[in-house]
């Protein structure tokens, strides 16, 4: 815990409020902007820091403060009005056991914005200032740089998600000059946050399929289902009628391969994926009857249409007009009815209430689970055992849907790393394990920033000719509790929120 001290936002008096209300001004209709955190003057902040250190000093017995209680660190927002442009002052009590043994004082100064590197300090000057201030003869330096990879790698018609970000943080020892490019021996970490749903994503069609699955799950919970707008030229009922007709022809031997311009080819969303990803997210060739039916019915646009589709299927099964095959181990209600139809006897199912919605949700879940498993195992990024948590049927349907969402989020990340950043299997495999471990232990969080270790050599092509978003050098001396540090940093955004900036690019 820390204390942050800032100026209180004053509220207008009731009198001024009544005067303002009497003025019929159109500007009053506009929303008031939040002024944000307000800083104190540097002079006042220094006074408060002095008081804080005084009451934390156990040697100030003449103040008769009694037993000193160790307070959390104090940070004060400053307005930068002094010659050094100070924007933060901080004080942190140091303790040994329950006793205070000293106080660390911090001062954060900031200048800018500037577009010219010539305005920056010289590294040797910074090191000399540190030595003089802290009376040290030997200093060490450590560099840090952050680059935005999503913008650097973005090309037309690829994944550029507005709510997503991919950064790489790079650290290295021994800095030779300000704004130097990190050496290849640096340690690097990929920070990736990808929110699904961008229409330009190679797996966007699968995302849409998942959204319909979520709508069905929400309908089970609330009793109100949000049906998608019809996008196909044929309705779901027409597609199912054609599907059943083809199955009947197969059963009586009159079906001919290649009829209806290849209608035997399953209309599955994975057909629509971008050509750049077909090699890694290929269409499954083992779709059973229930999965093929899902591909026809995922465009269903009303509850009545849903009932008509299932009525047609159940009547065909009951009369023995079709004898479809299904994957072993499927636990959906439709799969059980199909198995019963093999023996000429099916239990009666009332297509009322939530039953049809649940039936469609079950076959959609089965199909999408196999899609994701097919990708991760096919790309040798995971084993069936490691994915068991995500495809388990031992939990209720709502939790199963939640876990499928996790699978999709992991898929989006791995596809982005493969297609956009062109990383290879040796990087993707350990990253997949990190994502699997996180989602086995945490709920779905599409804003979560996954931190994935990466060789700086692998990402050099993205940053070697780019300006960093953040670049800093730490100059240190001393060891342990006696270590002191001076940090110099440049960034494209204001380092403190109470400082304005125009995000000027370096020149």
Q: Tens-digit pLDDT profile for the chain (507 aa)?
A: 888 988 876 655 544 554 444 443 433 434 445 556 789 999 999 999 999 998 888 777 666 666 767 889 999 999 888 998 899 999 999 888 778 888 889 999 888 777 667 778 789 989 998 888 888 888 899 999 999 987 645 544 444 445 788 999 999 999 999 999 999 999 999 999 998 988 878 888 899 999 999 999 999 999 899 998 877 788 999 999 999 999 988 877 655 444 444 333 434 444 434 444 555 566 678 899 999 999 999 999 999 999 999 999 999 999 989 889 898 878 899 999 999 998 888 889 999 999 999 999 999 999 999 999 999 999 999 999 999 999 999 999 999 999 999 999 999 999 999 988 889 999 999 999 999 999 999 999 999 999 999 999 999 988 888 889 999 999 998 877 778 888 999 888 877 766 654 455 544
**pLDDT at residue number 507:** 45
The DSSP line for 147-211 is EEHHHHH--TTS---TT-EEEEEEEEE---STTPPPPTTSEEEEEEE--S--TTSTTHHHHHHHH
Contacting residues for 57 by C-beta, under 8 A, at least 6 apart: 68, 100, 103
Number of H-type helices and E-type strands within the chain: 15, 10
User: What is the pTM assigned to this prediction?
Assistant: 0.78
Instruction: State the Cα–Cα distance between residues 291 and 293, nearest whole angstrom.
Output: 5
From the number of C-beta atoms within 10 Å of its C-beta (0-12, 13-18, 19+), residue 137 rates as exposed
Q: Are the C-beta atoms of 251 and 321 separated by less than 8 Å?
A: yes
Angle CA 162–166–171, to nearest 5:
150
Instruction: State the Cα–Cα distance between residues 144 and 463, nearest whole angstrom.
Output: 13
**pLDDT at residue number 121:** 78
Kind and range of the H or E element at 77? strand 74-77
Contacting residues for 126 by C-beta, under 8 A, at least 6 apart: 473, 475, 486, 488
**pLDDT at residue number 276:** 46
Contacting residues for 277 by C-beta, under 8 A, at least 6 apart: 202, 203, 415, 418, 419
147, 146, 127: which is closest to 137 by C-alpha?
Answer: 127
């Amino acid at each position: 815990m820390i204390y942050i001290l800032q100026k209180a936002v004053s509220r207008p008096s009731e009198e001024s409020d009544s005067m303002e209300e009497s003025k019929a001004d159109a500007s009053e209709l506009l929303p008031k902007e939040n002024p944000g955190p307000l800083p104190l003057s540097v002079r006042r902040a220094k006074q408060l820091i002095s008081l804080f250190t005084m009451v934390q000093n156990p040697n100030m017995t003449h103040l008769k403060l009694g037993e000193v209680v160790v307070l959390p660190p104090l940070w004060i927002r400053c307005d930068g009005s002094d010659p050094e442009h100070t924007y933060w002052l901080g004080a942190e009590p140091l303790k040994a056991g329950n006793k205070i043994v000293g106080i660390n004082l911090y001062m954060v100064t900031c200048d800018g914005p500037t577009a010219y590197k010539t305005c920056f300090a010289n590294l040797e000057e910074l090191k000399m200032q540190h030595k003089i201030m802290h009376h040290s003869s030997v200093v060490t330096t450590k560099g840090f740089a952050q680059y935005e990879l999503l913008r650097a790698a973005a090309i037309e018609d690829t994944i550029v998600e507005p709510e997503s970000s991919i950064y790489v943080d790079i650290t290295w020892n021994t800095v030779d000059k300000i704004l130097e490019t990190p050496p290849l021996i640096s340690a690097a970490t990929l920070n990736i946050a990808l929110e699904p749903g961008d229409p330009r994503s190679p797996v966007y069609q699968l995302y849409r399929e998942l959204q319909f699955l979520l709508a069905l799950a929400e309908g089970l919970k609330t009793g109100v289902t949000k049906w998608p707008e019809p996008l196909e030229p044929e309705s779901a009922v027409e597609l199912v009628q054609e599907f059943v007709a083809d199955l009947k022809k197969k059963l009586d031997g009159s079906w001919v391969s290649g009829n209806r311009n290849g209608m035997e080819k399953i209309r599955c969303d994975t057909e629509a994926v971008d050509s750049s990803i077909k090699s890694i997210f290929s269409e499954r060739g083992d779709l059973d009857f229930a999965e093929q039916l899902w591909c026809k019915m995922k465009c269903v646009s009303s509850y009545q249409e849903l009932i008509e589709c299932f009525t047609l299927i159940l009547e065909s099964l009951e009369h023995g007009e079709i004898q479809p095959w299904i994957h072993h181990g499927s636990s959906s209600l439709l799969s059980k009815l199909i198995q019963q139809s093999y023996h000429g006897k099916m239990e009666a199912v009332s297509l009322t209430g939530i039953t049809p919605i649940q039936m469609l949700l079950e076959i959609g879940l089965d199909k999408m689970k196999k899609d994701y498993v097919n990708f991760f195992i096919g790309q040798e990024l995971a084993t069936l055992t490691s994915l068991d948590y995500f495809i388990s049927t031992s939990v209720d349907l709502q939790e199963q849907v939640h876990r499928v969402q996790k699978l999709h989020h992991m898929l989006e990340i791995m596809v982005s790393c493969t297609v956009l950043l062109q990383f290879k299997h040796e990087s993707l495999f350990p990253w997949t394990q990190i994502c699997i471990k996180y989602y086995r232990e945490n709920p779905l969080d599409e804003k979560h920033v996954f931190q994935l270790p990466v060789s700086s050599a692998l990402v050099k092509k993205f940053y070697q000719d780019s300006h960093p978003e953040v670049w800093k050098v730490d100059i240190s001396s001393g060891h342990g509790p006696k270590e002191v540090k001076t940090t110099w940093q440049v960034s494209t955004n204001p380092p403190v929120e109470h400082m304005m900036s125009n995000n000027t690019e370096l020149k």
